[in-house]
Amino acid sequence: ELKVEQNPLFLSMQEGKNYTIYCNYSTTSDRLYWYRQDPGKSLESLFVLLSNGAVKQEGRLMASLDTKARLSTLHITAAVHDLSATYFCAAHEASGSRLTFGEGTQLTVNP
């Protein structure tokens, strides 16, 4: 059974700082997603990573995938308050039909 672990689960950072959220998964996955959820809102897809070494960037967020280490990272550059949200990674098990989510990282960016 595929398990997905994120860390940290809670992250409080100052505006302008950089930080990385880590996502480890336990078995072979053929794609890795990052989602964002604002309080009281639904999940919004940010990135999908399909292959080893894949890197995608959108604004201050950059996601990468290392399939050998079964690790994805979401790097935040020069954080701004608008990035405050909960970020989920989710891995698709190569042999199955389901997406397994991590617990989420609750990010708070303070002025």
Partner 1 sequence: ETGVTQTPRHLVMGMTNKKSLKCEQHLGHNAMYWYKQSAKKPLELMFVYSLEERVENNSVPSRFSPECPNSSHLFLHLHTLQPEDSALYLCASSQGDRVGKETQYFGPGTRLLVL
- Which residues form the interface with partner 1 (CB under 8 A)? 4, 30-31, 33, 35, 41-45, 48, 88, 90, 92, 96-104
Least Cβ distance, residue 45 to partner 1 (angstroms): 5
Task: Give the residue with the Cβ less far from partner 1, 33 or 83.
Answer: 33
Which lies closer to partner 1 via its Cβ, residue 33 or residue 76? 33
Distance in angstroms (rounded) separating the CA atoms of residues 15 and 1: 38
**Closest CB 26 distance from partner 1, rounded Å:** 13
3-state SS assignment for residue 83: helix
Q: Who's near 53: CB < 8 A, 6+ residues apart?
A: 64, 65, 66
Are residues 81 and 89 in contact, defined by beta-carbon separation less than 8 angstroms?
no
CB of 104 to partner 1, least distance (A): 7
